[in-house]
Chains A and B, each alone.
Chain A
Amino acid sequence: MDAILLQILNGLDKGSAYALIALGLTLIFGTLGVVNFAHGALFMIGAFCAVTLQKILTISSVSIDPEKKDFLGNPMEVKTPYVESLFGEATGQLIINWSVPLAILFAIPVMLAVGYIMERGLIKHFYKRPHADQILVTFGLAIVIQEIVKHYYGANPIPTPAPDALRGSFDFGVLLGFDPNAVIYPLWRLVYFAFSALVIGAVFAFLQFTTFGMVVRAGMADRETVGLLGINIDRRFTLTFGIAAAVAGLAGVMYTPINSPNYHMGMDFLVLSFVVVVVGGMGSLPGAVLAGFLLGILESFAAMNEVKSFFEAIYLPSIDQIIIYLVAIIVLLTRPRGLMGRRGVMEE
């Protein structure tokens, strides 16, 4: 029982990332009808927002402290981040330590701006073009973004640790009445899950309970009629694109302590997120979220030794590597509209 719980928890963090990216993809597809192959790149930009903020906060003034000597006996250089000299040492260190969560505040405007520029500058011209063109041009854009990031940040992963306070692990089992030490789980992953649940909730609440969201939903259902009612639907869709970009970016920011960001992390997630969207049902927001968590958890179950050896016995070794694709194939063949897709929508 505790092993099962542990696998569910293990799947949650990847599932959260899938769900957030897939949510953004679906939002863009549902509103603008555009297949965005650059969405993984947005996730990556988000992660590099965290890296950038960390770099900005640790910009230091270098002074030579004659008191301290390094091991060669020369006076040692002391680097003092400006933040520390500005806010005092304790506060400054605290700020640097919390740079990843702080990057959320930094990433939201950046991602909204990136999304806005992308939509107005490029995607706008592709509404009337075939889906193949949309795929191709966003694919090109993804390459460009990736190469620019690689140029400025290098090809190696950049470690961005979580705050000290959230770094340890947490005995989750005790809460549910298991023995102590049975289900131990890294604290940050729980934070990540809680955070993504919050973001997903916020997006749904925004769409469900605000006038703006109502218009967007109406536009998803019938764009032309909403336009005929005298509402500037294009402007709202542009903002929706920005929101989708911000969701992907936030997923990236908070993912950095789990996996150090590198320039191709977006591509790795993109392919799987597309699979998630297809499994959930193209155009269905709850479907994207559900499929994201489901596939994340399934992936972690497939990585269990017991499951692996079972599948090895029926000649399916390393099931954890291919489980998501297998599920996608089965879903597409048996239920082409996806788990929660509406009948007749994009069933071709």
Chain B
Amino acid sequence: MLGLNKKDTGLFIFVICVTALAPFIMNPFPADSAMAQFNAGYPDLMQRFVIFGIFAIGFNILFGLTGYLSFGHAAFLGAGSYAAVWMFKLLSYNIVPAIILSVIVAGLFSVIIGFISLRRSGIYFSILTLAFAQMSFAMAYSVLTPLTNGETGLQVYNDDPQWLKGNGPDATHFFGLEMRSTFDLDIGAWSFSFNVGYYFCAVLMLVAFYLSMRIFRSPFGLMLRAIKTNQTRLNYTGLNSRPYTLAAFVISGMYAGLAGGLMASMDPLAGAERMQWTASGEVVLMTILGGAGTLLGPLLGAGFIKYFENIFSKINESVLHGWFGFLPDGIENGLIWVIEHFVGSGWHLTLGLLFMLIVIFLPGGLMEGATRIRDRFSGDKNKKDTEGKYAPAGE
């Protein structure tokens, strides 16, 4: 189907089903129960799942296939956000031109950065992209203030022209269909919300996922893998690999721009902090955590991190006391004292530790973990060697 083989079609249908039914899957607990805080089925979070999913899928096309570790992808996300908000300011709240422009802007931006950064590989490439992203961040704060509104962040004001607005709605919409409108369905004690914005992002995410599948299976994708495996040898065969890496870089930059545009479409704001290198680190983390170079991995990683970020940030001392109330006081207080460091505002600490643990013990991410478990149970002795799965180019 659609030019995919049987296995990929199965995977694609699985992903379609999961995203379509996400409002049910994410809300497994009744709305009033004590477990409701583990629900993730509210629009804002579900939108973030798919938007960061797109971002990570795009990053994976570069990092997973070519092995070029970019530390500056957030710059494209930020550029996409700014472009989208400008379209809201100038034209109307219709998100179609905004998203198109954000992809184009991010694409052009990534052509420039990619053209320069890809002259080097390995660590130099990482450092160069990092430097570019920091430069963009610094410029968004200072020089480009007329474009970016500096520290305040770019937003839509009442006196903005919005030439095409007419009688259109005052919130982001898709030809009249407002992104924020949500349909709530109550079944017994359960409550599910179906949000227009989420489904819009989800459709684009599925398109993005399909494209990435096609890229993975195409001759172009094969070439990218060859670059990762041994770029020197590829060069010796008389092949210039730079157009391929540049194409991969631009594609992943456009994915990031799309994610940025969608982010602004859900909430018409754009700030420089989206470009900061910690944001770039986050997408690296998502891809690694899920499994770089796998199809499903980045989606999994994005969902995992966004879910736990949300849940962990909500847990505080009183919640912990509620959980461990059955323990003797001394043990309870000791345990809570320890856990407290990792939840709430300590979420970043957990994230850093998780990151280290994954890189140390499971370089292939969750997907490798799943494969290992499956191999153990099926007793398959012909395990594939996953060592050095994403060695950077030029090694």
A residues sitting closer than 8 Å to B (CB atoms) are 35, 122, 125, 129-133, 135-137, 139-144, 146-148, 151, 267, 271, 274-275, 277-278, 282, 317-318, 321-322, 325, 328-329, 332-333, 336, 346, 348
Contact = CB atoms under 8 A, between A and B. Distances in A.
B353 A144 contact: yes
B388 interface: yes
Question: What 4 A-B pairs are tightest by C-beta distance, nearest first?
Answer: A143-B352, A140-B355, A140-B356, A147-B349
Contact of B131 (A139, A325, A348): A325
B254 interface: no
Nearest to B393: A348
B324 interface: no
Contacts of B139: 318, 321-322
Given A131-B122, A274-B127, 5 more contacts: A132-B126, A132-B391, A148-B349, A151-B349, A271-B277
Interface string B258-275: 000000000000000000
B142 A332 contact: no
Interface string B274-292: 0001100100100010000
B221 interface: no
B360 A318 contact: no
Nearest to B232: A348
B122 A348 contact: yes
A207 B301 CA distance: 45
Interface string B117-130: 00111111011101
B4 interface: no
A130 B392 contact: yes
Interface of A is mostly: helix
A144 B352 contact: yes
B312 to A, nearest CB: 13
Given A130-B391, A333-B116, A348 B121 contact: yes
B374 interface: no
B124 A136 contact: no
B45 interface: no
Contacts of B116: 329, 332-333
Contacts of A142: 352
Contact of A336 (B119, B353, B363): B119
A132 B284 CA distance: 11
B138 A321 contact: yes
A265 to B, nearest CB: 14
B135 interface: yes
28 contacts: A122-B356, A125-B360, A130-B395, A131-B395, A132-B67, A132-B126, A132-B392, A133-B363, A135-B123, A139-B284, A141-B356, A142-B352, A147-B349, A151-B346, A267-B277, A271-B130, A271-B277, A275-B127, A278-B128, A317-B143, A318-B143, A321-B135, A321-B142, A325-B134, A325-B135, A329-B131, A332-B116, A348-B122
B143 A321 contact: yes
Nearest to A321: B138
B143 to A, nearest CB: 4
Interface of B is mostly: helix
B103 to A, nearest CB: 25
B127 A333 contact: no
A348 B120 contact: yes
B349 A144 contact: yes
Nearest to B356: A140
A137 B395 CA distance: 18
Contacts of A129: 363
B341 to A, nearest CB: 6
A139 B282 CA distance: 11
A275 B122 contact: no
B348 interface: yes
A144 B356 contact: yes
Nearest to B124: A278
B355 to A, nearest CB: 4
Contacts of B392: 130-132
B288 A136 contact: yes
Interface in B180-212: none
A133 B124 contact: no
B359 interface: yes
A31 B86 CA distance: 49
B283 to A, nearest CB: 12
B127 A137 contact: no
Contacts of A267: 277-278
A21 B359 CA distance: 25
B69 A135 contact: yes
B390 A130 contact: yes
Contacts of A151: 341, 346, 349
Nearest to A316: B143
B139 to A, nearest CB: 6
In this complex, which of A131, A277, A333 has the most chain B Cβ atoms within 10 angstroms of its Cβ?
A131
Contacts of B352: 140-144, 146-147
A141 B352 CA distance: 7
Nearest to B133: A271
Interface in B137-184: 138-139, 142-143
A329 B130 CA distance: 12
B132 interface: yes
A21 to B, nearest CB: 14
Nearest to B363: A133
Contacts of A148: 349
